Amino acid sequence: MNNRLLTIVALIFSAALLRLLPHAPNFSPIGAIALFGGAYLSKRVLAYLLPLAAMVISDLFLGFYGPEMLITYAGFVTSIFIGTQLRKSITWYNVGFAAIASSVAFFLITNCVFFYPTSLGPIYTHDFAGLINSYVAGWPFFQNTFLSDLVYSTILFGAFYLLQVNIPSLQSEKIKA
Residue ranges per structural domain of the chain: 3-170
What pLDDT, on a 0 to 100 scale, did the predictor assign at position 175? 45
What pLDDT, on a 0 to 100 scale, did the predictor assign at position 1? 59
Average pLDDT over residues 146-158: 97
What pLDDT, on a 0 to 100 scale, did the predictor assign at position 123? 77
Q: What is the C-alpha to C-alpha distance for residues 74 and 76, in angstroms, rounded to an integer?
A: 5
Q: For residue 175, what is the DSSP state?
A: -
For the stretch 36-75, pLDDT in tens is 999 999 899 999 999 999 999 998 988 887 777 888 899 9
Average pLDDT over residues 13-22: 92
For the stretch 81-135, pLDDT in tens is 999 999 989 999 999 999 999 999 999 998 887 666 666 667 788 888 888 888 9
Name every residue whose Cβ is closer than 8 Å to that of residue 47 and which is 6 or more positions away in sequence: 37, 38, 41, 80, 83, 84
What pLDDT, on a 0 to 100 scale, did the predictor assign at position 116? 65
Please give the model's pTM, rounded to 2 decimal places: 0.89
Q: What is the C-alpha to C-alpha distance for residues 39 and 33, in angstroms, rounded to an integer?
A: 10
Closest CA to 159 of 5, 3, 8: 8
Q: What is the C-alpha to C-alpha distance for residues 71 and 15, in angstroms, rounded to an integer?
A: 21
Name every residue whose Cβ is closer than 8 Å to that of residue 100 and which is 6 or more positions away in sequence: 146, 149, 150
What pLDDT, on a 0 to 100 scale, did the predictor assign at position 111? 87
Query: Could you tell me where the DSSP H helices lie in the chain?
Result: 3-17, 30-40, 44-62, 69-86, 92-110, 128-166
